[in-house]
Amino acid sequence: QGSSIELSCDAPMRQPYCVYMQGGLTYEHYRYTVRELIDTIILKRA
């Protein structure tokens, strides 16, 4: 069948918001994703 490369992120809908990530290829892949998450969700709320 082969394999797929994917990045998933799960978190609860209520506080505390702990995020669990899995599936990144490299540290840079994780870093880029977290930076985009912060830019998109957290900074745009302020």
CA separation, residue 30 to residues 9, 13, 35, 37, 46 (Å): 11, 22, 9, 10, 24
Q: What's the average model confidence in pLDDT over 22-46?
A: 81
Q: What's the average model confidence in pLDDT over 35-46?
A: 80
How does pLDDT run across 10-23, given as a tens digit for each residue?
A: 777 777 767 777 77
Contact yes or no for 12/18 (Cβ under 8 A): yes
Longest dimension (CA), the chain: 45
- Please list the helix, strand and coil fractions of the chain in percent, rounded to the nearest 5, in that order: 40, 15, 45
Q: What is the dihedral of CA 5, 11, 17, 22, to 10 degrees?
A: -30
pTM confidence score: 0.49
Domain layout of the chain by residue ranges:
8-45
Q: What's the average model confidence in pLDDT over 18-41?
A: 81
